[in-house]
Structure 1
Amino acid sequence: MMLKLSPATKEALKVAIAFTLSIVIAIALGWQKPYWAAISVIVVAANDNYNVAIKHGRNRLFGTIAGVIFAIFNVHYFAQDREMFIFSVLCFATICVYMSNWQRYGYAFKMAFTVGIIIAAMGQFDSFSTFDFAVLRVQETTLGILVYSLVFQFLWPRNTESLFKQFISQLTDRHIEQVERQLTALYLSGRCSDISDDENNQSNEESNQLALLLKEAISDSSRIYSERKIWMKLAAYLLDAKDEKAASTDSSDTLKKHLQQRYLTLQQIKRLLCRHDIEAIGRITSVSSMKPIEIKNDFWGEVKNALIANYQNRLIYVFRALAALSTCYALWIYLPMPAGILFPLIASSFVNALCDAPSAYYKYAVLGICTFSVLFLLEYIFILPALTEVYELAAFYFINIFLVWKMFAGPQLSVLRVLGGNMLVVLTMTALYLTPVYSITQSLNMLLFIFIILIVVRFYTMLTEEIGEGMMGKNTLGPRS
């Protein structure tokens, strides 16, 4: 009898295999920074949809190339002029942070800034060293994306079609549960229970995710493309705002009849989805009468939207980034920070990642950092120095990444997965050098830097939120969609 693995276990195994292979291959090729390839795997694996993850990986590659160009230009012209160097970095940060809201290529802009700072700093502001690190960075990023692609393509592959159908099935189940709750409240109290703000927010997120998955599935699957009209009508039925808000507009008897009919229809859809009878779903009156949802492919309209959509909040994110970066660079210049260039390098990466996060996010970030840092530092002190062979090192990283991905499975915990994977790499990176070095000092310095940076960024985040609430009302500066 074969052992049946859960989807979360399969996903964790695939990520752990891709992560470990990228490190082993980079070491075998004699590359100096094997952890760059591993970090590429972590970032692209944070997406549950393989096809979206691959596009995320392509954006990472595009961003890497743009960051390389910026780093070489900046070091070549401003390496000996500190003020101009910092000014050019802040200008580049302004562009990257503002444009990182672009759904199609936003991650490329976010990646470009991080890579540009890393390469310029690691090259010690020397043009020849910077070029060498730039080439190495592109090589290792490409390796990580390639290994991830091959592993996810051939080991328990998950295509967009299966992910889309799985999401439709889950969405149908959620609507059945919601209608059951409304009917129960209607029979017990004579009135329908109201839909909470959390449920409304969840519905908006589901609407965006469903539209994205349907668009990807139509592009990638010939079967979904041939059945696209039925799927578009079914999606419209499941996301029908009139049905979701019927409780506030209909009388008790009318509402009861409406909810009973919707419940029966949803149960019928569920049965037909289990039998994969899509044609029969298209013949259901409630579904066939719906207007199909729109799948937009207007590239220039998307570009225009990327430039002006939500510009108020994006300008706030730019202000946070510039203020936090300026503060961190001033601390580095005027205070005796240890570890040389490491502090502004880490500050640039963290500020770029956190400038759009709400202040409530930081308590979870601190909790995650504390938990992961204690665990990984203990392993770094007591386990890693005893590992002398490549296969032992591979087993160490495989087990840790597998546990992180398995324990924090699910889309809502993707931030903790990325945080755990990055903390593992950051705190143990010296063990991945071609000549391993074990020094707790550098790891502790990096932890100190991380907490200082979190304090600085959180200060400006809370400041802008307070100003925003005072000027435009509460809840206008939430996280980016």
Structure 2
Amino acid sequence: MNRVQYRKEALKAALSVVLCIYFALLFGWEKAYWSVIVIVVLSGNETFSHSILKGRLRLLGTLIGACSAVVIISAFHQQRVLFLASLCLYLAVCVYLSTHRKTGYMWSTAFIVCALTASVGHFDDVATFNVMTLRLQETMLGFIVYSFVNQFIWHVNTQDHFFNLLNEVKPHLLGNPSQSDVNDTNILIKLDKLSEILQLPLHGSYQLKQQKSYWITIVYALKTLYLLQSTCNLTQHSLSAHGQTIVRESLKLQQITHDLKTWLEQANQIATPAATLGAFEVNHQVRMKYALQAVSILATCLLIWIYLPVPSGFLLPMMASIYSIVLVRQPVKGAMQTGLALMVWGSLFILEYAVILPTLDNVFELLAFYFIHIVVIWAIYSKPQHTILKILASNNLVIFTMGALQLVPNFDMTTSFSMITVLFIVLAVTQIIGSLFNPSQTTG
């Protein structure tokens, strides 16, 4: 993504954020920051179709998690041990399923929403139901506003992104084999992205949508070429050279030829570009390790919450539930990055919350405050590898200033300082337990 396009994306994200805040306050919804977090997460995706898919999974996860919270609280609200055991079991299931290639994000969202709904609802079934309704409304608002802004303002077609990637790959696989750097891992990454795009919602990408089966076959053929050209076998190189001619012809004619089908049948007897892990990104043993690790983090934080005088109300179990699943894959590195972002951005936003926000006289000044901050955060974290830091900084912005987003603004600093204390406790527990389960992360 070039600089001009990235600046447009930053402006669209900022506009979406302020529209969500405005409509949430207009509708009289108390927790406007929930819809802002939806915008932040969706804006971190590669294409609009990626965001639409993630938005759908988030909506489903929100519904599943909210309903799960109501069921668990209704069944065990008078039995603390059984309630906490059920929550840990539900976490284990969601973590285990969170590595699913298609629905993993839905299960991560389901547990986070379950924990948030139960905590904010003070573990009362009636209050939890009201929180569930509000959460669904806020999620829908964020999804609708983000979709509207991206459809009508500087819309970027997923189809264009697909063909740009395809044009980057073709010279390596369809050019002179002696000049092609097929061992470049970026080629395989781009081929996987091409396959991923074809599985996304293709609204507005008419050519891809109408010729989906054709492009799936072409990408499959390119993956086969990659595997054939990556070997030193003379037979495979001969088959690869023949395949290059056939794939070029199919691209020229824009149709799947009989020769292409025949060649793929021959090539698949030697090289099959199929995923080795099936539906999940990691194997069963790793998924079980993730689940046990997440439960250990949550259980440790719950014991601290029960037996130590931590002045946080329900903040500690809520934040422990969130970070136990968010940082499960990179607990040590993720905890360090989150802690650093917390020190830098958290301190700045708390200072602004105490000094600047109380001086704002109307809602438009408040919207301008968030608009400017989102643009600045996007400008600082402009590289693809900084996406996680961008999301962390944006989340810190709305979390530490959420008192200003209430229908009746509240600038009490007690909650902000309690949240910092709780977050550092959770991150410390995450890093310690993460280092026990992943010693390579501490030495690498």
Provide TM-score, normalisation by structure 1.
Answer: 0.78
Match of 2:431 among 436, 458, 461: 458
Quick check: 2:6–2:382 contact (8 Å CA) kept in 1?
A: yes
The AA in structure 1 aligned to 2:49 is N
The secondary structure found in structure 2 opposite 1:151 is helix
Deviation of residue 47 (structure 1)? 1.1
The AA in structure 2 aligned to 1:392 is E
Which ranges of structure 1 fall in alignment gaps of 5 or more residues?
184-191, 256-260, 270-276, 295-301, 476-481
Query: How far apart in 1 are the matches of 2:280 and 2:387?
Result: 27
Deviation of residue 319 (structure 1)? 0.6
Q: Is 1:157 matched up with 2:176?
A: no
Residues 138-149 of structure 1 mapped to structure 2, 5 A cutoff: 138-149=136-147
After superposition, give the CA deviation of every residue in 1:430-455 in whole Å (9 maximum; x if it has no partner). 11111111133322221222222112
Q: Which residue of 2 aligns with 1:395?
A: 368
Q: Which residue of 1 aligns with 2:311?
A: 338
Query: How far apart in 1 are the matches of 2:71 and 2:182?
Result: 57
Query: How far apart in 1 are the matches of 2:440 and 2:207?
Result: 51
After superposition, give the CA deviation of every residue in 1:223-257 in whole Å (9 maximum; x if it has no partner). 235555764565356543346635x668xxxx9xx
Q: Which residue of 2 aligns with 1:39?
A: 37
Query: How far apart in 2 are the matches of 1:179 and 1:380?
Result: 60
Deviation of residue 179 (structure 1)? 9.3
Identity of aligned residues (%): 32
Q: Which residue of 1 aligns with 2:66?
A: 68
Deviation of residue 57 (structure 1)? 0.9
Query: How far apart in 1 are the matches of 2:221 and 2:142?
Result: 40
Deviation of residue 204 (structure 1)? 4.2
Deviation of residue 378 (structure 1)? 2.9
Query: How far apart in 2 are the matches of 1:406 and 1:464?
Result: 36
- CA 1:436–1:313 in structure 2 vs 1: closer, same or farther (change >3 Å)? same
The secondary structure found in structure 2 opposite 1:224 is helix
The secondary structure found in structure 1 opposite 2:200 is helix
The AA in structure 1 aligned to 2:405 is L
Q: Which moved more, 1:229-238 or 1:108-117?
A: 229-238
Q: Which residue of 1 aligns with 2:271?
A: none
- CA 1:179–1:431 in structure 2 vs 1: closer, same or farther (change >3 Å)? farther
Quick check: 1:97–1:318 contact (8 Å CA) kept in 2?
A: yes
Quick check: 1:61–1:142 contact (8 Å CA) kept in 2?
A: yes
Deviation of residue 54 (structure 1)? 1.2
Match of 1:208 among 163, 184, 192: 192
Q: Which moved more, 1:230-239 or 1:14-23?
A: 230-239
Query: How far apart in 2 are the matches of 1:308 and 1:432?
Result: 38
* Aligned residues: CA RMSD: 4.0
The secondary structure found in structure 2 opposite 1:6 is helix
Q: Which residue of 2 aligns with 1:245?
A: 230
Quick check: 1:123–1:133 contact (8 Å CA) kept in 2?
A: yes
Deviation of residue 36 (structure 1)? 0.9
- CA 1:392–1:461 in structure 2 vs 1: closer, same or farther (change >3 Å)? same
Match of 2:359 among 383, 386, 397: 386
The secondary structure found in structure 1 opposite 2:332 is coil
The secondary structure found in structure 1 opposite 2:438 is helix
Quick check: 1:233–1:291 contact (8 Å CA) kept in 2?
A: no
Match of 1:235 among 216, 219, 223: 219
Query: How far apart in 1 are the matches of 2:65 and 2:78?
Result: 20
Q: Is 1:430 matched up with 2:403?
A: yes
Aligned length: 430
Query: How far apart in 1 are the matches of 2:182 and 2:417?
Result: 50
Deviation of residue 365 (structure 1)? 3.1
